[in-house]
Amino acid sequence: MSFSRFGRLALPGFCALVFAFLMLPILAVIPLSLNPGSFLVFPEEALSLRWYRTLGESPQWTRAFANSFKIATATTLIATPLGTLAAIGLATMRSRAKPIIVALISAPLVVPVVVVAVAFYFLFAPLGLVNSPVGLVVAHTALALPFVVIVVHAALTGLDFGLLRAAASLGAPPLTMIVRILVPLIGPGIAAGAVFAFMTSFDETTIALFIAGPEQRTLPIQMFEGVREEISPAIAAAATLLVVASTLLLGTAELLRRRGERMRSGASAPHVRV
Protein backbone atom coordinates (compact mmCIF):
# COMPACT_ATOMS: atom_id res chain seq x y z
CA MET A 1 0.00 0.00 0.00
CA SER A 2 1.45 3.35 -1.05
CA PHE A 3 1.84 6.18 1.40
CA SER A 4 -0.62 8.39 -0.48
CA ARG A 5 -3.29 5.70 -0.41
CA PHE A 6 -2.64 5.09 3.29
CA GLY A 7 -3.01 8.83 3.92
CA ARG A 8 -6.33 8.92 2.09
CA LEU A 9 -7.60 6.06 4.22
CA ALA A 10 -6.20 7.32 7.53
CA LEU A 11 -7.23 10.96 7.14
CA PRO A 12 -11.00 10.37 7.59
CA GLY A 13 -10.35 8.30 10.69
CA PHE A 14 -8.05 10.95 12.14
CA CYS A 15 -10.66 13.65 11.41
CA ALA A 16 -13.31 11.50 13.13
CA LEU A 17 -11.11 11.18 16.23
CA VAL A 18 -10.52 14.94 16.36
CA PHE A 19 -14.24 15.58 15.90
CA ALA A 20 -15.08 13.13 18.71
CA PHE A 21 -12.44 14.72 20.97
CA LEU A 22 -14.02 18.14 20.43
CA MET A 23 -17.71 17.22 20.48
CA LEU A 24 -18.11 14.39 23.01
CA PRO A 25 -17.56 16.62 26.10
CA ILE A 26 -20.16 19.04 24.73
CA LEU A 27 -22.67 16.33 23.84
CA ALA A 28 -22.24 14.71 27.26
CA VAL A 29 -24.38 17.43 28.86
CA ILE A 30 -27.44 16.31 26.86
CA PRO A 31 -28.01 12.99 28.68
CA LEU A 32 -27.05 14.64 31.96
CA SER A 33 -29.84 17.17 31.47
CA LEU A 34 -32.37 14.32 31.27
CA ASN A 35 -31.45 13.02 34.72
CA PRO A 36 -34.57 12.59 36.93
CA GLY A 37 -32.54 12.79 40.16
CA SER A 38 -31.10 15.74 42.02
CA PHE A 39 -27.49 14.85 41.25
CA LEU A 40 -25.50 14.49 38.05
CA VAL A 41 -25.42 10.74 37.36
CA PHE A 42 -24.29 9.01 34.18
CA PRO A 43 -25.56 6.75 32.81
CA GLU A 44 -29.11 7.40 33.99
CA GLU A 45 -31.56 4.69 34.87
CA ALA A 46 -34.44 6.76 33.48
CA LEU A 47 -35.05 9.90 31.47
CA SER A 48 -37.00 12.95 32.59
CA LEU A 49 -37.67 16.54 31.55
CA ARG A 50 -37.79 17.60 35.19
CA TRP A 51 -34.93 20.10 34.96
CA TYR A 52 -36.25 21.70 31.80
CA ARG A 53 -39.50 22.35 33.68
CA THR A 54 -37.39 23.78 36.50
CA LEU A 55 -35.81 26.24 34.08
CA GLY A 56 -39.23 27.39 32.91
CA GLU A 57 -40.67 27.69 36.41
CA SER A 58 -37.70 29.28 38.21
CA PRO A 59 -37.79 33.11 38.32
CA GLN A 60 -33.99 33.26 38.46
CA TRP A 61 -33.49 31.21 35.30
CA THR A 62 -36.29 32.86 33.31
CA ARG A 63 -35.00 36.32 34.25
CA ALA A 64 -31.48 35.31 33.22
CA PHE A 65 -32.76 34.04 29.85
CA ALA A 66 -34.70 37.26 29.33
CA ASN A 67 -31.73 39.46 30.24
CA SER A 68 -29.40 37.58 27.90
CA PHE A 69 -31.89 37.80 25.04
CA LYS A 70 -32.53 41.52 25.53
CA ILE A 71 -28.85 42.42 25.82
CA ALA A 72 -27.88 40.22 22.85
CA THR A 73 -30.66 41.74 20.72
CA ALA A 74 -29.62 45.31 21.58
CA THR A 75 -25.99 44.44 20.88
CA THR A 76 -26.92 42.96 17.49
CA LEU A 77 -28.99 45.98 16.50
CA ILE A 78 -26.06 48.30 17.26
CA ALA A 79 -23.09 46.20 16.13
CA THR A 80 -24.58 45.09 12.80
CA PRO A 81 -25.01 48.52 11.12
CA LEU A 82 -21.78 49.86 12.62
CA GLY A 83 -19.80 46.81 11.53
CA THR A 84 -21.38 46.86 8.08
CA LEU A 85 -20.46 50.51 7.52
CA ALA A 86 -16.93 49.86 8.80
CA ALA A 87 -16.55 46.88 6.45
CA ILE A 88 -17.74 48.95 3.48
CA GLY A 89 -15.25 51.65 4.38
CA LEU A 90 -12.42 49.12 4.65
CA ALA A 91 -13.37 47.47 1.35
CA THR A 92 -13.22 50.79 -0.51
CA MET A 93 -10.15 52.12 1.31
CA ARG A 94 -6.88 52.47 -0.59
CA SER A 95 -4.68 53.77 2.20
CA ARG A 96 -1.49 52.51 3.81
CA ALA A 97 -3.22 52.89 7.16
CA LYS A 98 -5.72 50.13 6.33
CA PRO A 99 -3.71 47.31 8.05
CA ILE A 100 -3.45 49.45 11.19
CA ILE A 101 -7.18 50.13 11.20
CA VAL A 102 -7.94 46.44 10.69
CA ALA A 103 -5.63 45.57 13.59
CA LEU A 104 -7.34 48.08 15.86
CA ILE A 105 -10.80 46.78 14.96
CA SER A 106 -9.67 43.19 15.53
CA ALA A 107 -7.99 43.99 18.86
CA PRO A 108 -10.88 42.64 21.01
CA LEU A 109 -10.38 39.25 19.31
CA VAL A 110 -6.66 39.16 20.16
CA VAL A 111 -6.52 40.74 23.61
CA PRO A 112 -7.56 38.34 26.41
CA VAL A 113 -11.18 38.88 27.39
CA VAL A 114 -10.33 39.39 31.06
CA VAL A 115 -8.04 42.30 30.09
CA VAL A 116 -10.86 43.82 28.03
CA ALA A 117 -13.26 43.34 30.94
CA VAL A 118 -10.94 45.06 33.43
CA ALA A 119 -10.40 47.93 30.98
CA PHE A 120 -14.14 48.41 30.52
CA TYR A 121 -14.68 48.31 34.27
CA PHE A 122 -12.18 51.10 34.99
CA LEU A 123 -13.53 53.10 32.04
CA PHE A 124 -17.19 52.72 32.95
CA ALA A 125 -16.89 53.08 36.73
CA PRO A 126 -16.36 56.88 36.72
CA LEU A 127 -19.11 57.24 34.10
CA GLY A 128 -21.69 55.38 36.16
CA LEU A 129 -22.11 52.63 33.53
CA VAL A 130 -21.19 49.75 35.83
CA ASN A 131 -24.20 47.74 37.04
CA SER A 132 -26.27 49.11 34.18
CA PRO A 133 -27.65 47.52 31.00
CA VAL A 134 -26.28 50.39 28.90
CA GLY A 135 -22.70 49.66 29.94
CA LEU A 136 -23.13 45.95 29.29
CA VAL A 137 -24.59 46.57 25.82
CA VAL A 138 -21.77 48.98 24.94
CA ALA A 139 -19.11 46.51 26.10
CA HIS A 140 -20.74 43.61 24.23
CA THR A 141 -21.03 45.78 21.12
CA ALA A 142 -17.29 46.45 21.19
CA LEU A 143 -16.68 42.72 21.53
CA ALA A 144 -19.11 41.72 18.75
CA LEU A 145 -18.18 44.46 16.29
CA PRO A 146 -15.04 42.71 14.91
CA PHE A 147 -17.07 39.62 14.01
CA VAL A 148 -19.50 41.71 11.96
CA VAL A 149 -16.68 43.58 10.23
CA ILE A 150 -14.84 40.37 9.31
CA VAL A 151 -17.92 38.56 8.00
CA VAL A 152 -19.28 41.52 6.01
CA HIS A 153 -15.81 42.36 4.66
CA ALA A 154 -15.54 38.79 3.40
CA ALA A 155 -18.93 39.19 1.70
CA LEU A 156 -17.63 42.33 -0.02
CA THR A 157 -14.62 40.48 -1.44
CA GLY A 158 -15.01 40.17 -5.18
CA LEU A 159 -18.00 42.52 -5.31
CA ASP A 160 -18.11 44.60 -8.48
CA PHE A 161 -18.16 48.18 -7.22
CA GLY A 162 -18.66 49.26 -10.80
CA LEU A 163 -22.36 48.67 -10.17
CA LEU A 164 -22.33 51.48 -7.62
CA ARG A 165 -20.45 53.78 -9.96
CA ALA A 166 -22.92 52.99 -12.73
CA ALA A 167 -25.84 53.78 -10.43
CA ALA A 168 -24.17 57.03 -9.37
CA SER A 169 -23.70 58.01 -13.02
CA LEU A 170 -27.44 57.52 -13.51
CA GLY A 171 -28.20 59.90 -10.67
CA ALA A 172 -28.78 57.52 -7.76
CA PRO A 173 -28.11 59.12 -4.35
CA PRO A 174 -25.76 57.28 -1.95
CA LEU A 175 -28.61 55.99 0.25
CA THR A 176 -30.38 54.50 -2.77
CA MET A 177 -27.19 52.76 -3.90
CA ILE A 178 -26.70 51.23 -0.46
CA VAL A 179 -30.31 50.14 0.04
CA ARG A 180 -31.14 48.91 -3.48
CA ILE A 181 -27.79 47.60 -4.72
CA LEU A 182 -25.26 46.98 -1.98
CA VAL A 183 -27.51 45.54 0.73
CA PRO A 184 -29.22 42.98 -1.58
CA LEU A 185 -25.82 41.77 -2.78
CA ILE A 186 -24.22 41.43 0.66
CA GLY A 187 -27.43 40.84 2.63
CA PRO A 188 -26.54 37.23 3.54
CA GLY A 189 -23.17 38.40 4.83
CA ILE A 190 -24.83 41.10 6.94
CA ALA A 191 -27.29 38.57 8.34
CA ALA A 192 -24.44 36.15 9.13
CA GLY A 193 -22.56 38.93 10.91
CA ALA A 194 -25.69 39.68 12.94
CA VAL A 195 -25.90 36.01 13.94
CA PHE A 196 -22.29 36.04 15.16
CA ALA A 197 -22.89 39.29 17.05
CA PHE A 198 -25.92 37.79 18.79
CA MET A 199 -24.01 34.62 19.72
CA THR A 200 -21.03 36.62 21.01
CA SER A 201 -23.22 38.65 23.35
CA PHE A 202 -25.52 35.82 24.43
CA ASP A 203 -22.65 33.51 25.47
CA GLU A 204 -20.32 36.14 26.95
CA THR A 205 -19.43 35.70 30.63
CA THR A 206 -16.23 37.51 31.63
CA ILE A 207 -17.25 41.08 30.77
CA ALA A 208 -20.69 40.49 32.27
CA LEU A 209 -19.09 39.45 35.57
CA PHE A 210 -17.32 42.83 35.75
CA ILE A 211 -20.02 45.12 34.32
CA ALA A 212 -23.41 43.56 35.05
CA GLY A 213 -25.28 44.18 38.29
CA PRO A 214 -27.82 41.98 40.08
CA GLU A 215 -30.61 43.18 37.79
CA GLN A 216 -28.57 42.38 34.66
CA ARG A 217 -27.70 38.81 35.61
CA THR A 218 -27.36 36.94 32.30
CA LEU A 219 -27.68 33.24 31.59
CA PRO A 220 -23.91 32.52 31.60
CA ILE A 221 -23.58 34.31 34.94
CA GLN A 222 -26.50 32.32 36.33
CA MET A 223 -24.81 29.10 35.21
CA PHE A 224 -21.49 30.21 36.69
CA GLU A 225 -23.10 31.02 40.02
CA GLY A 226 -24.95 27.70 39.96
CA VAL A 227 -21.73 25.73 39.47
CA ARG A 228 -20.02 27.65 42.26
CA GLU A 229 -22.82 27.27 44.80
CA GLU A 230 -24.35 23.89 43.95
CA ILE A 231 -24.06 21.55 41.00
CA SER A 232 -27.60 20.97 39.76
CA PRO A 233 -28.80 19.15 36.64
CA ALA A 234 -30.60 22.40 35.79
CA ILE A 235 -27.20 23.72 34.69
CA ALA A 236 -26.89 20.80 32.27
CA ALA A 237 -30.36 21.58 30.92
CA ALA A 238 -29.42 25.24 30.38
CA ALA A 239 -26.16 24.17 28.73
CA THR A 240 -28.08 21.84 26.41
CA LEU A 241 -30.35 24.69 25.34
CA LEU A 242 -27.28 26.82 24.65
CA VAL A 243 -25.71 24.04 22.57
CA VAL A 244 -28.89 23.62 20.54
CA ALA A 245 -29.26 27.38 20.04
CA SER A 246 -25.61 27.77 19.03
CA THR A 247 -25.89 24.89 16.57
CA LEU A 248 -28.99 26.38 14.96
CA LEU A 249 -27.41 29.82 14.73
CA LEU A 250 -24.16 28.46 13.28
CA GLY A 251 -26.15 26.46 10.75
CA THR A 252 -28.07 29.59 9.83
CA ALA A 253 -24.84 31.55 9.41
CA GLU A 254 -23.41 28.83 7.15
CA LEU A 255 -26.55 28.76 5.00
CA LEU A 256 -26.41 32.54 4.70
CA ARG A 257 -22.74 32.38 3.74
CA ARG A 258 -23.42 29.86 0.98
CA ARG A 259 -26.36 31.89 -0.25
CA GLY A 260 -24.13 34.94 -0.42
CA GLU A 261 -21.54 33.02 -2.45
CA ARG A 262 -24.22 31.91 -4.90
CA MET A 263 -25.48 35.47 -5.22
CA ARG A 264 -21.98 36.83 -5.90
CA SER A 265 -21.30 34.12 -8.45
CA GLY A 266 -24.61 34.77 -10.22
CA ALA A 267 -24.54 35.99 -13.73
CA SER A 268 -26.70 39.09 -13.27
CA ALA A 269 -27.05 41.87 -10.75
CA PRO A 270 -30.42 42.91 -9.29
CA HIS A 271 -32.49 45.29 -11.41
CA VAL A 272 -32.31 48.78 -9.97
CA ARG A 273 -34.49 51.78 -10.68
CA VAL A 274 -33.03 55.14 -9.74
Burial of 230 (0-12, 13-18, 19+ CB in 10 A): exposed
Provide the pLDDT confidence category of residue 230 given band limits of 50, 70 and 90.
low
Q: Residue 268: what pLDDT?
A: 44
**Model confidence over 3-46: pLDDT tens digits?**
566 566 677 778 888 888 888 877 878 887 777 776 666 666 76
**Model confidence over 57-88: pLDDT tens digits?**
888 888 988 999 999 999 999 999 999 988 88
C-alpha pair distances (Å), 147 with each of 83, 228, 246, 267:
8, 31, 15, 29
Average pLDDT over residues 106-127: 88
Provide the pLDDT confidence category of residue 273 given band limits of 50, 70 and 90.
very low
Q: Residue 272: what pLDDT?
A: 44
Residue 112 lies in a domain: yes
Residue percentage of the chain with pLDDT more than 70: 85
Residue 47 lies in a domain: no
Q: Residue 18: what pLDDT?
A: 85
How many CB atoms are closer than 10 A to CB 1?
6
User: Residue 155: which CATH number?
Assistant: 1.10.3720.10
**Model confidence over 121-142: pLDDT tens digits?**
998 988 888 888 898 999 999 9
Q: Residue 173: what pLDDT?
A: 79
Residue 197 has pLDDT above 80, yes or no: yes
* Of residues 197, 200, 194, the one with CA closest to residue 220: 200
Residue 236 lies in a domain: yes
Residue 53 lies in a domain: no
Residue 189 lies in a domain: yes
Q: Show the 3-state SS of 170-237.
A: CCCCHHHHHHHHHHHHHHHHHHHHHHHHHHHHHCCCHHHHHHCCHHHCCHHHHHHHHHHHCCCHHHHH
How many CB atoms are closer than 10 A to CB 73?
15
Average pLDDT over residues 88-100: 82
Residue 248 lies in a domain: yes
* Of residues 126, 124, 147, 143, the one with CA closest to residue 212: 124
For all residues of the chain together, what is the average pLDDT? 80
Q: Residue 264: what pLDDT?
A: 60
Number of domains in the chain: 1
Residue 18 lies in a domain: no
Cα dihedral across residues 238, 114, 19, 17: positive or negative: negative
Residue 177 belongs to what domain range? 59-264
**Model confidence over 147-173: pLDDT tens digits?**
999 888 888 877 777 777 787 787 777
How many CB atoms are closer than 10 A to CB 239?
18
Q: Residue 274: what pLDDT?
A: 43
DSSP 8-state class, residue 51: H
Residue 269 has pLDDT above 60, yes or no: no
Residue 191 lies in a domain: yes
Cα dihedral across residues 134, 137, 138, 139: positive or negative: positive
Separation between Cα atoms, residue 234 and residue 40, nearest integer Å: 10
CA dihedral 126, 217, 244, 108 (to 10 degrees): 10
CB distance 120 to 134 below 8 Å: no
Average pLDDT over residues 215-227: 81
